[in-house]
Amino acid sequence: MKTKKTYAVFGLGRYGIAVAKELVENGMEVIAIDAEQKIVNDVAAYLPVCKCADVTDPEVISRLGISNIDTVIICMASNLEASVMAVTLCKEAGVKRVIAKCANEMHQKILLRVGADQVVFPENESGIRLAKNLLSSGFIDMISLSKDVSVIEIDVKDEWCGKNLIELNLRQKYGLNIVAFKKGENVNVNINPEQPLEAETTLIVIANIAKLGKLK
C-alpha cells in the first residue's frame, strides 16, 4: 500500500525548483521534469529523480508513469500552449490533482477550462508556500507568521460535524487555536465553544507547524 503522496513538477524554473525542493526536503517522492538537459543536470544534485523530457508528448506521459502520480504541478506559465497540453494529458491519464502556474487571468480561465484543479499566480503564491500547502494535506490555505506558527484555513472534517469545540478539544490534541468560523463569504469571530460544528464550514486557526502532521 502506498503511504506517501507522490508529486511531479513540470518545468524547472525558479518557481518549479522551489516547489520540488521543498517537497523533497520534507521527504516526499518527487519526479522533476524539464525539457532542457542543462537545467536537469544543474538541479540533479538536490532533486534525486530528475528527467529531461517533453511533457506535451502523450508517449512521454505514459512512459514516465504520470498516471500513478497523486499531484502534478505544472510550472510553465510562459508557455500557455505547453501548459494546456500538459494539463490535458495529465487529466486524461487520470491524475487526481493538477495544479498549474499561470501568467494572467485569461490564462487562468483557459487552464481551468481544460481541466486544471487549481491555478496559481506566482506573484501571489511562492513556490515554497505552495509546497507547504501541499504538505499540509487537507488544508485550504496556509500563511506563515513565523518559522513555527501559521494561520490555517481547514474544512470541518466529517467526524467533527455535530460536535462542539469543547468536545473536540482541538487545541490540546492538535495545537489548533480557533479564531473564526467561515461559511460561504461570512466570517464569524464570535466563537461559541458549545456550538456544534456544521458541514461546509471552514475553521480559521492559528497553529504550530510541528503539530500539523497529526491532522493528515
Please give the domain boundaries of the chain with CATH numbers for all domains: 6-135 (3.40.50.720), 139-215 (3.30.70.1450)
In 3D space, the residue among 49, 62, 127, 140 whose CA is nearest the CA of residue 95 turns out to be 62
Residue 117: what residue type?
D
Q: What is the pLDDT of residue 186?
A: 80
Burial of 60 (0-12, 13-18, 19+ CB in 10 A): middle
Of 96, 164, 95, 176, the residue nearest 139 (C-alpha): 176
**pTM, two decimal places:** 0.64
Which residues on adjacent β-strands are paired with residue 175?
none
Q: Is residue 114 a contact partner of residue 128, using CB atoms and an 8 Å limit?
A: no
> Which pLDDT score, from 0 to 100, does residue 1 have?
44
Q: Name the residue with higher pLDDT: 179 or 1.
A: 179
pLDDT value at position 124? 45
Q: How far is CA 41 from the centre of its chain?
A: 26
| Half-sphere exposure at residue 120, Cβ-oriented, CA atoms within 13 angstroms | 24
Cα separation, 73 vs 37, whole angstroms: 19
pLDDT for 173 equals: 83
pLDDT digits (tens, 9 = 90+) for 182-195: 887 788 888 888 99
pLDDT surpassing 60 at residue 57: yes
Query: By the 8 A CB rule, do 64 and 31 touch?
Result: yes
With CA atoms as reference, report the closest residue to 74 among 26, 107, 43, 42: 107
Here the cell at position 76 is 510553465
Q: Which residue has the higher pLDDT, 78 or 57?
A: 57
Q: Which of 91-95, 101-105, 139-143 has the highest mean pLDDT?
A: 91-95
Q: Which of 8-12, 14-18, 29-33 has the lowest mean pLDDT?
A: 14-18
pLDDT: is 106 or 215 the higher one?
106
Where would I find the beta strands (DSSP E) of the chain?
A: 6-10, 29-34, 50-52, 71-74, 97-101, 118-120, 139-144, 149-155, 176-183, 186-188, 202-208
Single-letter residue type at 83: S
Over 50: is that where the pLDDT of 140 sits?
A: no
pLDDT at 67 > cutoff 50: yes
Mean pLDDT, rounded, of the chain: 84
Average pLDDT over every residue of 161-179: 87
Instruction: Yes or no: say if 55 and 89 are a contact pair by the CB < 8 Å rule.
Output: yes
